[in-house]
Chain A
């Protein structure tokens, strides 16, 4: 049986996107302008894919026990994470299942991230050094 790790929930507000834009240098206006986001067919301002991946990364390092325990980390951005201009913003829920323990003793985690019940990532996984 594959072990299921404790789900992690992260709240995402517009203020988080502003902070992430500044820290990462990704100032694409779809992450801060409803006018531009809707103009290119998005439902509104969406989170940076890399911000979502960073939240998943927090969950992974939390489960793994250390930042340097992560050997590989990959995701596919399947759906956008719309972030409404409210105090509550939205929530991203990250779950993980232990898929295998490799011959080297590393652990492969299958990861999911959902927002409003939609899977926002697919083919997401991490290889972590077993502690």
Chain B
């Protein structure tokens, strides 16, 4: 009887939350909760594991909401440690996890999507053969157009369960660009970390660190130069001595470049905040003005500036950060034009 009530109340709750919150629930789960709940870090109830969740669900959904919002002494941080999350999003994520773990029986009516591109073993744990079939039916027509071009290309299709390109439509905009939702993913979902490795789930997700840092349009999407110069981060200049100060050299080198491209201004200042002279001189750059042949081709191939820019420092797509000094129009050219 009690169970019936519970299921009924959950259905009500889910119905009230609507499908929009199911989406945001999944979103929040993957961004925040999955770090611990995917693998069961710190004894967190594992995603999709009915056994882990049943006793908690039995205490009632409002209790679960409270635990998620306020944290628990067992180790759950308030709002998963992400205090800027709106309450509604946290609750949506809780709903999403409940639904995935046996609560699925109640949520079967809802168009629920499979949580992960690579479903965990636990996710299969009993519970929900039915909703799964439903999911398969629903997802099939959507998924079909995406792998098609890949299949033509090669047998690589099987290696790409989650195609990074053109998730929806072959003629969509920015087909080859990485969408914002694919940036700064937590380690377990970034494609190079092994999600079956327990250590992977203990690593800090990039977004947890980047939240308070100034943004940029490339690379990590963090403006590291601004971050250090405004004091948002204070990277140590010595391995152990936290008080060591960098030896900053404030000297700009202007490199005149061919064509109409603005000249390059190389600022020693921003580089010496991070680096030592010996990092670049004399191996990469001869410390003498005019003595270095630098070309964009060399940089693209990882030489000269490209030793760092395009690997860890901002990449060459940010042309104007280097090519920043507008050329004076040559007076002789103007004169001859007249």
Chains A and B belong together in one complex: no
